[in-house]
Amino acid sequence: MNNNYKKGVMCAISSAISWGAYTVLMGIILAMTPFVKTEQALVLAPIITAFLHDSFSAIWTFIYLGFRKQLKNFFKAVKTKSALWVVLGALLGGPVGMTGYLLSVKYIGPSYTAIISSLYPAVGALLATVVLKEKINKKAWIGLIVAIIGVSVLGYTSVSTSVNPVGFLFALLCVFGWGSECVICAYGMKGDEVTSEFALQIRQFTSAVVYGLIIVPIVGGIGLSFDILRNSVIFWIGGTALVATISYLCYYTAIYKIGPTRAMGLNITYVVWAIIFDKIFLGSEISLLTVLSSILVIGGVYFVAKEPEIEVESEPKLLEVK
Over residues 255-294, the pLDDT tens digits come to: 888 888 788 878 878 878 888 888 887 777 777 777 777 7
Which of 308 and 232 is assigned the larger pLDDT? 232
pLDDT grade for 204, boundaries at 50, 70 and 90: very high
Q: What is the DSSP string of 113-160?
A: HHHHHTTHHHHHHHHIIIII-----HHHHHHHHHHHHHHHHHHHHHHT
pLDDT at 299: 74
pLDDT grade for 314, boundaries at 50, 70 and 90: very low
Amino acid at 307: E
Does 63 score more than 50 pLDDT?
A: yes
pLDDT at 305: 58
pLDDT at 317: 47
Does 141 score more than 80 pLDDT?
A: no
User: Range with the lowest mean pLDDT among 69-83, 237-251, 263-277?
Assistant: 263-277
Neighbours of 63 (CB within 10 A): 12
Identify the top-confidence range among 139-153, 163-177, 227-241, 281-295. Answer: 227-241
Provide the sign of the torsion angle of the four alpha carbons 253, 210, 179, 44, taken in this order. positive
Provide the sign of the torsion angle of the four alpha carbons 98, 103, 106, 109, taken in this order. negative
What is the mean predicted confidence (pLDDT) over 32-38? 79
What is the mean predicted confidence (pLDDT) over 4-18? 90
Which of 73 and 152 is assigned the larger pLDDT? 73
